[in-house]
């Protein structure tokens, strides 16, 4: 089974062995599925332009002080545009260091730090820019509960999920893709797109959590989206001999009991019309009690 395409943001490239000079990838642009253009930095200065294959091999590289081409010029110009836009954000170096910590440990001297972090995430998502915040988290982060990640969750609740998904994928922040399930009712066509992408790489855990989160928020009268959820659960079970369909039914039945006056059976009859899915549900219900 093939692996997910890599992100090189935050990677160190050593020039003369592990104890020698190194540069850090702080800008990347994916070129199709097999190539990635990157800028390697010395501190905050772009020094080298390179093109990497999907296995990390250097297909081309050169020092920016000695050479340039159309791709390198575009990369540097885009990076400079991002830098100028970032200067408009009121985030200091102290704030960035604080942002790596969980809220319980952060000094929070800047009372607006969460707003600024969320705003920066939103701008990066909108423009599909390489995120300095996520790069910083990758290179220096020690806590998954950092302010950076907390702000990302909030940004994902506000952003257009059709842009959030490729943004998360390009940064290999796949563990946050299931967050999109909580707003899936606004983007119903995205569910199958995300599922197909990860199932191609056999990343069923991500799809399973996406379905769980979607079940937690989907309107109980949204027949189309509920049938899509059940269809995907059925598909995973057929491939992996799992019990995802039972799991999502359990969540939906629990919500039906809590939030409506209907019984699970009555709700199913009213909401699910696809004969193939109804047959799978009957089989699941016969094999073990759910809800």
Residues in CB range of 275: below 8 A, 6 or more apart: none
Query: Could you read off the pLDDT of 128-175 as tens digits, one per residue?
Result: 999 999 999 999 999 999 999 999 999 999 999 999 999 999 999 999
The predicted structure's pLDDT at residue 55: 87
Give every strand in the sheet of 35-42, ordered side by side: 12-14, 22-31, 35-42, 45-53, 58-63
Give the residue ranges of DSSP H helices in the chain: 70-86, 93-99, 113-127, 132-140, 147-158, 161-170, 188-200, 204-217, 223-240, 244-259, 264-271, 275-287
pLDDT at 88 (0 to 100): 76
| Cα-to-chain-centroid distance, residue 141 | 17
Per-residue model confidence (pLDDT) at position 288: 58
10 Å CB burial of residue 220 (0-12, 13-18, 19+) is: middle
pLDDT surpassing 60 at residue 291: no
- Percent of the chain with pLDDT strictly greater than 90: 76
State the chain's mean pLDDT as an integer: 92
Q: What is the mean predicted confidence (pLDDT) over 177-200? A: 97
* Structure confidence by residue, pLDDT tens digits, 232-242: 999 999 888 88
The per-residue pLDDT for range 64-79, each reduced to its tens digit, is 999 999 999 999 999 9
* pLDDT of the residue at 286: 77
- List pLDDT tens digits, range 79-106: 999 988 887 777 888 899 999 999 999 8
Q: What is the pLDDT of residues 6-59, one digit of tens each?
A: 999 999 999 877 777 899 999 999 987 789 999 999 998 999 999 999 888 999
Residue with the larger pLDDT of the pair 287 and 274: 274
Q: What is the rounded average pLDDT of the residues 266-275? A: 92
pLDDT value of position 92 = 85
Confidence of residue 3 (pLDDT cuts 50, 70, 90): confident
- Tokens read off for 129: 């820019």
**Is the pLDDT confidence value at 259 over 70?**
yes
Map tokens 């988290």 to a residue. 137
How many whole angstroms separate alpha carbon 102 and alpha carbon 213? 24
> What is the model's pLDDT at position 1?
63
Cα 243 from Cα 76, distance rounded (Å): 49
Domain ranges of the chain: 1-88, 89-172, 174-291
Higher pLDDT, 86 or 268: 268
């Amino acid at each position: 089974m093939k692996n997910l395409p890599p992100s090189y943001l935050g990677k160190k490239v050593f020039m003369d062995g592990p104890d020698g000079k190194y540069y850090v990838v702080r800008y990347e642009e994916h070129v199709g599925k097999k190539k990635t253009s990157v800028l390697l930095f010395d501190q905050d200065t772009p020094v080298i332009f390179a093109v990497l294959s999907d296995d990390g091999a250097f297909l081309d590289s050169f020092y920016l002080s000695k050479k340039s081409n159309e791709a390198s010029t575009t990369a540097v110009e885009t990076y400079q545009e991002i830098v100028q836009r970032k200067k408009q954000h009121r985030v200091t170096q102290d704030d960035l260091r604080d942002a790596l910590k969980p809220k319980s440990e952060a000094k929070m001297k800047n009372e607006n730090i969460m707003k600024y972090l969320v705003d920066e995430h939103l701008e990066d998502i909108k423009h599909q820019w390489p995120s300095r915040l996520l790069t910083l988290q990758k290179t220096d982060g020690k806590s998954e509960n950092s302010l950076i990640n907390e702000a990302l969750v909030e940004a994902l609740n506000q952003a257009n999920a059709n842009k959030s998904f490729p943004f998360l994928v390009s940064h290999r922040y796949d563990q946050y893709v299931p967050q999109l399930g909580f707003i899936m009712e606004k983007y119903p066509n995205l569910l199958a797109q995300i599922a197909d992408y990860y199932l191609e790489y056999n990343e069923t855990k991500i799809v399973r959590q996406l379905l769980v989160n979607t079940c937690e928020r989907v309107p109980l009268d949204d027949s189309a989206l509920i049938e899509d959820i059940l269809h995907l659960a059925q598909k995973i079970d057929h491939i992996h001999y799992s019990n995802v369909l039972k799991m999502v039914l359990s969540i939906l039945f629990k919500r039906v009991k809590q939030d409506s006056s209907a019984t699970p059976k009555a709700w199913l009859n009213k909401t699910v019309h696809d004969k193939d899915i109804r047959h799978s549900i009957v089989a699941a219900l016969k094999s073990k009690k759910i809800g």
